[in-house]
Structure 1
Amino acid sequence: MNSVKKIAMLMFIALPSVVYAGEAQVKWHDFNDYRDARPSNQTKGSYHKQIAKSIDEHFAKLSEQLPKNYTLKIEVTDLDLAGDVRYGGVNEIRVVEPIHFPRIKFNYVLSNESEVISSEDNVSLKDMSFMDKIKRGREEAFHYEKRLLTEWFDEQVLTKLD
């Protein structure tokens, strides 16, 4: 092995590593009280479970970027999904138009084992230009809401760790 490779290997081994394994805990209120969490062609109960599962998994994925022993607690106080449910003959369908942009309101606490790093009540997110942005990746459920949460996480949560 040449000396450059040896030095690079030693530097890699000597660097302290940060373990990323934060956790997210999401608390939901009654979906019937949210501004718009209406299903189209699904029962309310199963649709609400689908929303909760999808957003919970998204927060879990985001929190993997947090250092070990960090917890992000979210309490969703209001939800307005992108689009609006309309009657289309026999079925109801969710029509996504620019006028029906996604909105989410929540409280959050970011903490580690010993202290609260950041917290805020009544965070209100909305993306009025959600349809003007390029979609990257595959089509997924609640794409616009997840993108809104990801942007908030990157700008507000990750910056608190520096």
Structure 2
Amino acid sequence: MGAAYRNGLRHSTTLEQRKKAIAEAAEQRYVEFTGGETKYTGGTVHELNENTHPIQREFYDFYRTPRGEYTPKGSSPNLTTHPTLASIVKFGNFYPFNDIETISPRPMLFITGADAHSREFSEDAYKRAAEPKDLYIVPNAGHVDLYDRVNLIPWDKLASFFNQHLSR
């Protein structure tokens, strides 16, 4: 989420766009501090139409259907998956792959869908990691498919990885 927020998919976010988002979030934090209304941003669309982006369609199929929809008590389905404008920028300071090479010599397994828009992040983590490491790409799987589509989850790969690396 850190790289996705900072850089966008395939590094599509410019430095100027990032600075503008940070400035808007700072202004919104002050609005909320003084009692103003909370603003929400991003998240999964609530309706599909002919112009809906494929990533939004994939997320809709999970987050807006009984397959994966969850609304916490006291919230609204209209807010589910929508971060606040004031808080989303915290992802800009999330660098989960910094120092990933220090995990070595403990083995790491990265799993991603062949069709996942987020595949670039798993590939980046794999490149940064020291050996031993493994990148497993699940054919015909998107980003959310590996959340719950048990026929696509690579159970054999998981079992063999953990049996090999957790046995003494």
TM-score where L is the length of structure 2: 0.23
Q: Answer 1 or 2: which has greater helix percent.
A: 2
TM-score where L is the length of structure 1: 0.24
